[in-house]
């Protein structure tokens, strides 16, 4: 299991995108990673955007520390917009980024990256409606399946999930490098 020993945080709130949560979660577990679902409260049942999935959080931002994780994955849906209202969630993402660890965000998730003030000068992609917010926050926005800029990986939507997940796995396995985008 290539990711054995890796601790991955997936952070969500209500109205997370079910596929953008479930597919990375299951793949990373299959690869041997320890995947921890973190929310504003521990042991809280959260409901997906399409009401097709319910997920219980394993931990809260009160107890989770960026020091304990190798990466954070942020699914889209309306969950990132809710998480950005939690200073502890914003601080968690900022802390992971400050340590140079992998920050992976898909679809609407870059909203949370904006709130964490980590997009300025970075090349990113997102769901189309979030692109203007990224530009206004100083990001260089492109329309690509996956963008890697330093330790930040972004993708646009559910259709990009296979490439998004494979990029995360490759980086965590050391098969791909986190480099400045061009």
pTM: 0.95
Instruction: Indicate whether 181 pLDDT > 70.
Output: no
Q: What pLDDT is stored for residue 52 in this prediction?
A: 85
* Number of domains, the chain: 1
Instruction: Indicate whether 36 pLDDT > 90.
Output: yes
- Asked if residue 152 is part of any domain, the answer here is yes
pLDDT digits (tens, 9 = 90+) for 56-86: 999 999 999 999 999 999 999 999 999 999 9
Q: What pLDDT is stored for residue 94 in this prediction?
A: 98
- Asked if residue 149 is part of any domain, the answer here is yes
Q: Which positions ≥6 away from 20 have C-beta within 8 Å? A: 75, 76, 77, 106, 107, 109, 158, 161
- Asked if residue 182 is part of any domain, the answer here is no
109: left (phi over 0), alpha (psi -120 to 50) or beta: alpha
- Asked if residue 168 is part of any domain, the answer here is yes
- Asked if residue 126 is part of any domain, the answer here is yes
| Alpha carbons 73 and 172: distance in angstroms, whole number | 12
The mean per-residue pLDDT over the stretch 141-148 comes to 97
- Asked if residue 139 is part of any domain, the answer here is yes
Domain that holds residue 72: 7-173
pLDDT digits (tens, 9 = 90+) for 91-139: 999 999 999 999 999 999 999 999 999 999 999 999 999 999 999 999 9
Instruction: Indicate whether 53 pLDDT > 90.
Output: no
- Asked if residue 40 is part of any domain, the answer here is yes
Name the band, by pLDDT with cuts 50, 70 and 90, for residue 175: confident
| Surface-to-core class of residue 95, CB atoms within 10 Å of its CB (0-12 exposed, 13-18 middle, 19+ buried) | middle
CATH (domain of 84): 3.40.50.880
Cβ burial 30-40 (10 Å sphere, 16+ → b, else e)? ebebbbbbbbb
Active-site residue set: 107
The tokens for 121 are: 């000068």
Q: What pLDDT is stored for residue 164 in this prediction?
A: 98
């Amino acid at each position: 299991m290539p990711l054995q020993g890796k601790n991955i945080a997936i952070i969500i709130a209500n109205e997370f995108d079910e596929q953008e949560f479930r597919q990375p979660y299951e793949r990373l577990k299959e690869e041997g990673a320890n995947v921890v679902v973190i929310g504003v409260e521990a042991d809280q049942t959260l409901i997906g955007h399409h009401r097709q999935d319910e997920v219980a959080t394993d931990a809260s931002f009160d107890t989770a520390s960026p020091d304990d994780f190798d990466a954070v994955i942020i699914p889209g849906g309306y969950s990132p917009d809710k998480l950005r209202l939690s200073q502890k969630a914003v601080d968690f993402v900022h802390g992971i980024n400050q340590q140079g660890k992998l920050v992976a965000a898909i679809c609407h998730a870059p909203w949370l990256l904006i709130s964490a003030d980590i997009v300025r000068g970075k090349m990113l992609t997102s769901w189309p409606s979030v692109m203007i917010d990224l530009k206004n926050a100083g990001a260089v926005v492109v329309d690509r399946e996956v963008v890697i800029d330093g330790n930040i990986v972004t993708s646009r939507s559910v259709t990009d999930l296979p490439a998004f997940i494979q990029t995360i796995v490759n980086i965590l396995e050391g098969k791909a490098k986190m480099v400045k985008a061009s």
